[in-house]
Structures are given as structure tokens and as C-alpha cells.
Chain A
Amino acid sequence: MANFTPTGLRFENIDKRYGGLFALRRLSLEVAPGECVAIAGRNGSGKTTLLRVAARLVRPTAGTVSFTSGPAAGNVSERPGYVGHAAMVYDELTAEENLLLFAKLQDIPSPRKRAEELLREVGLLERRDSLVRTFSRGMRQRMAIARALLRRPSVLLFDEPGTGLDPVGITWLAKALREVHLAGCTVLMSLHGESEISTLATRGIRLEAGSIVADTIEGHAMRGILTLGA
């Protein structure tokens, strides 16, 4: 994969309210370029909201999110690659049609070639002409990851990326993440507990009720962060 231009992320005093519930509460976080951050926390602690705010899909009630350094610095329209809970691809289109669609929308040069390249990388090339509707959970997850990687983003956001993947899939994902991380990509991934994927993390933070309660940068142990009450 090509080298990424290292880009960092800054969250400043992020609040996200849904009625009476604070999904995120006065959250500030500085992610250095090239870091691979594991975000742990119970269900409902705000991990998904944090990632969606970073992806600019969710507008915070207060506070700002910005890119630091790199060509995307200060560029509000720059979008990270995002893999959420849902597959984010169309059931009624084939694997290739899906990637082609998103490649074209993002003005990627030679979209057909790039789509094919990614299908090969995620191991779905033989199923390129199958409708995504026919795919298993694991295959959908691979499609989701392929879609996120299309533009070679310098920031990648993963929401529980291992869900739905069998052990072979997890090993493949860990390998893919390692490559991307080595190339300089900044990664934020929410995780439940320890796994092959969590070993890639250079930093860990724990969320509880929308706030950061532990951070390896402050000396907390990674293991504790990942496994506490999970």
C-alpha cells in the first residue's frame, strides 16, 4: 500500500446529547499522527458516537473535531475511512458495483482498477459479480472494510471491526491493520476485550458514560483498559 501522510485528530470538549442522555461529555482527546488507538468501554459508553463524530457523521452538540498536521490539517471536508456496525454497502448491487460506485463518488482515478484491487485484497474477487445480499456476515464486513479503504485515507475509524469475522478473518484483519498502520495511517478502533487486533494498538483509552476514564498515555495499563468489566 502507498504511504500515507501522517494526520492526527483533535477532539476539543465534545458534548453529544440525545435528549437527556449525554453520549459524550466534555471529551477532549489528542491523537498523534500514526497512532493506533484502541477504544474500550461497555456498551453505551459512547464508543460508537465518538467514532461517528470523528467521521463527521454526527454533529456534536458542543465542541469541535479537527485534523492536525498532514495535508488534511484544518481541512473540514476531509473524510476519514469509516467502518461502522452496519455494512454500509448496497444489498441490491454486486460487490464490484458497490466498490465502483463509491470509488466514482470519491473521484478516485481508475475506479474500476482500484475496485478490483481492493476486492482482491479482501479476498472477495471471485464473488465480484454476486449481490451483496447473498454475502455472509464476514463477507459483508470485508466489503465494509474495502469500501473504507478505497481512497487510501490517512485516518481510519473502526467500530468493533472484528464482529462477524471468524478466526481466519480476524487474522486477516489484523494483518491488514498492521500494514496500514505501518504505512503511517492513524487508526481509531473500538474494541471489546483483548484479541489479535488489540495487540496492534499503540495506545488505549477507556470510555465510561461518555468520558475518558483511563488512557495508557497517562500510565494506565493497556490490559486493564481493555478488559475491565468488559
Chain B
Amino acid sequence: MSLLVNTATLVEKELRTEFRSRELLTTTVVFNLVVLILFSFAINPSVEESREFGPGLLWLAILFSASLMLQPCFLREQTNDTLSALRLAVSDPYAIFLAKLMANTLFLLLTEALMLPLFAAFYNVPVLPQLHYLLLVLFLGSLGVSVVGTALSAISAVARLRELLLPLLLLPVLTPVLVVSATVSVSLLDRQPVVQWKGIAFLAIFDLIFLTALWLFGEYLLEE
């Protein structure tokens, strides 16, 4: 119980801190936009190709922007050594991770929500018909990105070249998320939409595995 209460308190802190400045959100949204536009410059897709490749490119943009957005996660706890204050205050260190990954998932979803209409327009992909399924995939995929990203950002915060290290650690580990989310999204947004439940189940399992791994090993990630 204490874990849930602590997590709720910390989520509130994460949200309050971010919404006060909104720097992370705005930069992430803009970066996503830039990436999507650059993709279309590089590939110059036809209308049909846009529809086919669009969802994959959307997920690629999400991954790239997440690997940047997740860097301050633990870095900002270093400035005033607030991480030590948190470690002293909470009874279960998993609360620190849970709160951060929930907040990060929320930030990613907000970014995606803002991106979706623009994506639909640029890549000529009608997203409304399958919106509920699309949101499910976005949620499970973003959760996966956040869980792994939050864990690895705790690791990279301690190393040299941390800005380069996080994407390097994160992107290979997230290949399953990219593959499955992109594929499921493509078939959802196809002219003949199909809901790939196997893929959705896979994403859920991915999330569960890493949530459990983080629960088992989280305290060691914070150890000095």
C-alpha cells in the first residue's frame, strides 16, 4: 500500500515539476515534428507509400525523441542530490521508478496525442476509424519505451558521455517494441484494417517482463 501511495505522491511531483516549465514536453513535440518532416524529405514518399511507411516512421520518431526525453529523468535528480533525499524518504525504491516511468509514459502519450493529427495530415493516414485500437498500441508501446528507458537512464546518468550512451543502450533493447508496434499500427491503418491481437499481447508481455525486472533490480540501479 505504501508503495502505491508513495508512487502517487511522486507522480504528482513529476507532473507538477514538468508542467511548471513544460520544457521537456515542448522540446519533445518539436523534435518529433522535425524528425517526421525530415523523414519525408529523405524518402519523398508517394501518397500510397506514405500510408504504408508512415506508421513505422511515426514509431521511429517516438523512439528517437524518447531517447532524448528520458535523459534528464535521473540527471535532474543529481543537481541538488534530490535522489538521495528520495532514497532516504521512500520505503520501497521501486516507487521512485514506478512514478518516473508512469510520468514518462504520460509525457510520451501527450506528445503522441499532439503529433497524431499532424502525422495523419502529413502522411495521409486516416487515424480516426481505428483510434481506440491505435491508442491501445500507442499506450502499450510507450509504456515499454518508458519502462526500459527509465531503467537505463538511471544507468547512463552515472557514466561518461551520458547523452550519447542512453540512445546507444536504449535503442537496441527496444527493437521488439519498434518491430511489433510499427507492424500492428500499419495493419490497423491499412485500407483493410486488421487488429493484430498477438502483437498487442506481445507488447503487454514485453511491458510486464521489464516492469518485473525493474521491480527485482531497481534498488541496485540506485546503489552507490
Contact = CB atoms under 8 A, between A and B. Distances in A.
Q: Top 10 closest A-B pairs, CB basis?
A: A86-B81, A105-B89, A88-B85, A58-B224, A104-B9, A87-B80, A92-B17, A86-B80, A79-B88, A106-B89
Contacts of B212: none
A39 to B, nearest CB: 19
A105 B17 contact: no
Given A57-B87, A79-B88, A87-B80, A107 B224 contact: no
A88 B84 contact: yes
B88 A55 contact: yes
* Majority secondary structure of chain B interface residues (helix, strand, loop or mixed): helix
Contacts, number: 64
Interface string B64-96: 000000000000000111101111111100000
A93 B13 contact: yes
Contact of A90 (B17, B21, B87, B224): B17
B16 interface: yes
Interface of B: 2, 5-6, 9-10, 13, 16-17, 20-21, 79-82, 84-91, 223-224
B84 A102 contact: no
Contacts of B84: 52, 55, 57, 82, 84, 86, 88
Interface of A: 52, 55-59, 77, 79, 82, 84-93, 97, 101-102, 104-107, 147
A59 to B, nearest CB: 6
A74 to B, nearest CB: 17
Given A57-B224, A102-B89, A105-B89, A92 B81 contact: no
A88 B17 contact: no
Nearest to B88: A79
Contacts of A89: 80, 82, 85
Contacts of B87: 57
A76 to B, nearest CB: 12
Contacts of B86: 105
Given A59-B223, A77-B91, A105-B9, A90 B82 contact: yes
Given A59-B223, A82-B88, A105-B89, A97 B80 contact: no
A55 B17 CA distance: 27
Given A105-B6, A105-B9, A107-B2, A90 B80 contact: yes
Contacts of A87: 80-81
A88 B5 CA distance: 21
A92 B224 contact: no
A87 B82 CA distance: 8
Contacts of B21: 92
Nearest to B96: A105
